[in-house]
Structure 1
Amino acid sequence: MKEDFLHYLWKFKKFETLNLRTTQNESVTIIKTGDYLELSGPDFFNAQIKIGDQKWAGNIEIHIKSSDWYVHHHEKDSAYENVILHVVWEHDAEIYRENNIEIPVLVLKNYVSSEVLSSYKSLLTPKSWIFCERQISQIDDFVFKNWKERLFFERLERKSKFIYDLLEETKQDWEAVLFCLLAKNFGLNTNGVSFLQIAKAIPFSVIRKESFEVENLEALLLGTAGLLDKDGEDVYFTDLKIRYFYLLNKYQFEKCHIDYVQFFKHRPDNFPTIRLSQLANLYAKHQNLFSKIINLKSVREVYNLLGVSASSYWQNHYQFDKESPKKAKHLSKAFLDLVIINTIIPLQFAYFTTMGETISEDLIEFMDEVAPENNTIISKFKSFGILSKNAFETQTLLELKNEYCNKKACLKCALGMELLKSN
């Protein structure tokens, strides 16, 4: 038994309500169950009940056992002084306020039908991947659509916390925030942390000043990544190394320790040398990139704006001193789709939120254009009959799996609630 289930029972009155009685055998009539705000303090605020002939207004606290009141030290917390009813599954102790007045207790298990319990146990019986995998395809389309929108914006809100932290670090410089986000995105999962460290290690004022010469940007990025530390015979390598140490001296900032960037298990097009060169070329091509990116509203606009390639040296190299067959190293559409998902959309959401503007519909329409992601989670949902037509839908499924299914939060999930109701 979990408290979340008891919250669900109380909120939706999923129990016999006509003949309720406290442990002291006083009748209980529920006028208003209260507001379930999921804040600190009691579980339900502003409830109204009638105990015997006395009407009460106040808060409801819910526990598995009565004694949990003392386990959680509520007797020492003034926030619980206004609790008018203690709803429990099992009664194992009398509960008193600080003034030694006993709090009425309602034992809920005496009033819950076997059918409701059976539905709950069925939903939470472990399956191979998620609890509702045999039923999820039967969820009403309207319920699922509304829940997807909620999941999408919950995901954006979580991502925004990282953006707001960067905004604080950069003293409210949105251009610098964008640079950090793009760097992290260009590093993908393996090198994302290292690339973010690189972006933070170089004052963005330096990036601004040197953005008119791509070789200087490339020297700064590759040098900070530690890729110019060794000795090399290549003319391009030597030139970048000279530029890097000249720029360090010019701007008087120290070389920082960066986690070693990874080549291992990467496709050559994702080598850190290539991605950092592409990032340098992007900032050489576009000054004031933030102002251009913040109002993008379509995939085509992104492809046109961010369509850059690595420098000419990298057309026949993946690493220094190792020549390879010639190949243009353009940012692919698939890669730019990831930039939209992980950088552009979260940045737009965070920025316009701080401006007090709502662009929810625009963001959904934007994501509807982006191709669906392809990973193990999306493939697993597909095997249960849940298909994704675009990135909006894949992002919602990732949020569902990671923030609800993995945390066994079925009773906070609209799908889990719907399945319980329907059963």
Structure 2
Amino acid sequence: MQEDFLHYTWKHKKMELNKLKTAQGDAVLLTSVGQHNFNSGPDFFNAQLKIGNQLWAGNVEIHVKSSDWFLHSHEQDKAYDNVILHVVWEHDTDVFRSDNTPIPTLQLKDFTNIDVLNNYEKLFSKNGKWINCENDFASVENFVLNNWLERLYFERLERKQETIQNLLKDTKNDWEAVFFIMLAKNFGLKVNGEPFYSMAKSIDFSVVRKSQSSLTSLEALFFGQSGMLEDDLEISYYLELQKEYQFLKQKFKLENNNVMPLQFFRLRPPNFPTIRLSQLASLYFEHKTLFSKLMEAKTLEDFYKVFKVSASTFWNSHYTFQKTSKTSSKILTKSFIDLLLINTVLPLKFSYGKEKGQELDSEILNIAADIASEKNSVVDAFNNMKKVSNTSLQSQALIQLKTEYCSKNKCLQCAIGNSLINP
């Protein structure tokens, strides 16, 4: 038995309310369960109930066993002196306040709905399952599932908002700088995300602004700060970048001591950091007010137009500085742009809208619903149980569901878990 289940049972009144009695034999009439407290102190504040003929207003404490009261030393804590009812699964001893006055106890196992209890025990009997509800996920009604996924999508945006707020503090509230850092990280994808992130953080964004009039300057800045211009190569393009970077480094007093090394291993050539850095430079060269354009964009097509860029001409026949390759334009693909929208643009748009007092929830939902679902192991596993993810809204929500609920056994805080416990 988990204490979370007892909280759930009390909070949602999943009891035989007309039969409640204390362990001492007094009838309990429940008016209000109180306010759930997630911080220190009693579990529920300001409950209202009648015990016998006496009306009570105060706090409720919940434990698996009555003796847990003493295990947690509540009898010595005056914060628990206003507890009016001790709710437990098993009553194994009487409990007292710090002044030795007894506290009425409600033994919940005598009054819990047996179907709710059985469904709870079934849900939490893992037996090697990927998630607790694996065997019943397909039976969840689409209405419940879709509403919950929408809420989870916004939860994920709110979680990312915390990262954005921390970056705003680091950049003295410069939204363009925050956007540059996050965009650079996501240009690096999983393998080079952190190196790109460290590169972007090593550059004051004012330097990027002052370099935007020249694609060569931007490429030199990004390649140089990433440590890619330190070799002796007799290649005119490379030598031009080296020369420009030395000028920028001296002019802006650039340092890259804390920039992480780039990785090429096990990457497909289109994802080589050379290509991605050049594409990032082209994006900022083509759009001098990139952040504003993206914050003002309202449709998926608007975003695709902004991101319609390619790496510079040299990279048409190269993936690395030294080796030539078959000629092809290194444009940003639709699938790559989708990832940038999912992981950078929409979270920034959500946070920026909140900062400016703009109501953008419906707009963001519509855009997220127009972007195709991501493909990863989490999304695939859910889709194997029930085809549920067709859009990025749903795939992002499923990632939030798995990481913040399923993996943490928070089924009682999950709409899916609730629907299975209370069919």
* Counterpart-to-counterpart distance in 2, 1:78 and 1:351: 44
Once residues 76 and 285 of structure 1 are traced to their aligned partners in structure 2, the CA distance between those partners, rounded to angstroms, is 68
Structure 1 partner of 2:352 = 351
Match of 1:366 in 2: 367
Is 1:232–1:238's contact at 8 Å kept on the other side of the alignment? Answer: yes
Note the C-alpha offset of 1:11: 1.7
Could you tell me whether the CA contact under 8 Å between 2:11 and 2:36 is conserved in 1? Answer: yes
1:201 is aligned to 202
Query: What does 1:146-165 correspond to in 2, within 5 Å?
Result: 146-165=147-166
Deviation at 1:128, TM superposition (A): 2.5
Match of 1:326, SS?
A: coil
1:8 and 2:37 correspond: no
CA offsets 1:19-77 (integer angstroms, 9 cap, x no match): 32323333222111123353443322221111121111122221222233344454555
Find the counterpart in structure 2 of residue 304 from structure 1. Answer: 305
Q: Is the 8 A contact 2:226 2:256 kept in 1?
A: no
- 1:321-336 alignment runs, 5 A limit: 321-336=322-337
Asked whether the equivalents of residues 157 and 350 of structure 2 are also in contact (C-alpha less than 8 Å), the reply is: yes
Could you tell me which residue of structure 2 aligns to residue 168 of structure 1? 169
Corresponding residue for residue 90 of structure 2: 90
Following superposition, the deviation at residue 156 of structure 1 comes to 0.5
Change in Cα spacing, 1:289 to 1:148, as seen in structure 2 (3 Å) is same
For 1:17-416, list aligned pairs within 5 A: 17-36=17-36, 38-75=38-75, 78-126=78-126, 127-416=128-417
Q: How far apart are the structure 1 equivalents of 2:166 and 2:87?
A: 40
Deviating more after overlay: 84-93 vs 32-41:
32-41
Q: Comparing 193-202 with 11-20, which one deviates more in the overlay?
A: 11-20
Question: Which secondary structure state, in structure 1, belongs to the residue aligned with residue 200 of structure 2?
Answer: helix
Root-mean-square deviation (Å): 1.7
- Give SS of 1:159's match: helix
Alpha-carbon contact 2:199-2:222 (below 8 Å) kept? yes
2:319 is paired with a residue whose SS is: strand
Higher mean alpha-carbon deviation, 217-226 vs 233-242, is at 233-242
Long gaps (5+) in structure 2: none
- Residues 86 and 106 in structure 1, CA contact (< 8 A), matched pair in contact too: yes
Supply the AA of the counterpart residue of 1:231. Answer: D
Does the CA contact (< 8 Å) of 1:299 and 1:369 recur in 2?
yes
The verdict on how the C-alpha distance between 1:332 and 1:75 changes in structure 2, with shifts beyond 3 A counting, is farther
**One-letter amino acid matched to 1:59:** N
Q: CA deviation at 1:275?
A: 0.5
Deviates more, 1:27-36 or 1:150-159: 27-36
In structure 2, distance between residues paired with 1:349 and 1:193? 23
> 1:111/1:393 Cα in 2 relative to 1: closer, same or farther (>3 Å)?
same
Deviation at 1:16, TM superposition (A): 2.2
**Aligned-residue offset at 1:109:** 1.4
Give the aligned residue type for 1:89.
W
Q: How far is 1:4 from its partner?
A: 1.4
Residue 49 of structure 1: SS of its match in structure 2? strand
For the Cα contact (< 8 Å) 1:233–1:321, is it kept in 2? no
After superposition, the Cα gap between the structure-2 partners of 1:307 and 1:125, relative to the gap in structure 1 and judged at 3 Å, is same
The 3-state SS of whatever aligns with 1:21 is coil
| Separation of aligned partners in 2, 1:37 and 1:344 | 35
What secondary structure is seen at the aligned counterpart in 2 of 1:318? coil
Q: Do 2:62 and 2:87's aligned partners in 1 also have CA atoms closer than 8 Å?
A: yes
Q: Conserved in 2, the CA contact under 8 Å of 1:308 and 1:331?
A: yes
Once the two structures are superposed, residues 243-272 of structure 1 have per-residue CA deviations (whole angstroms, 9 ceiling, x without a partner) of: 112211111232322221111111100011
Instruction: Note the residue ranges of structure 1 that are not aligned, 5 or more in a row.
Output: none
- Give, as a single letter, the amino acid of the residue that structure 2 aligns with 1:363: I
For normalisation by structure 1, the TM-score amounts to: 0.95
Alpha-carbon distance in structure 2 between the residues aligned to 1:137 and 1:309: 43
Segment drifting more, 195-204 vs 114-123: 114-123
State the SS of the aligned residue for 2:180. helix
Q: Find the aligned partners of 2:255 and 2:227 in 1 and give their Cα distance.
A: 13
Q: How far did 1:112 drift?
A: 2.2
Identity score, percent = 47
Aligned counterparts of 1:40 and 1:296: Cα–Cα separation in 2:
45
Matched AA of 1:160:
Q
Per the TM alignment, residue 311 of structure 1 is displaced from its structure 2 partner at its CA by 0.9
TM-score norm. by structure 2 comes to 0.95
Query: 1:248, 1:255 within 8 Å by CA — same for their partners in 2?
Result: no
Partners of 1:349 and 1:54 in 2: how far apart? 51
Q: Say if 2:199 and 2:260, in contact at 8 Å, map to a contact too.
A: no
Q: Matched residues in 2 for 1:35 and 1:104: separation? A: 19
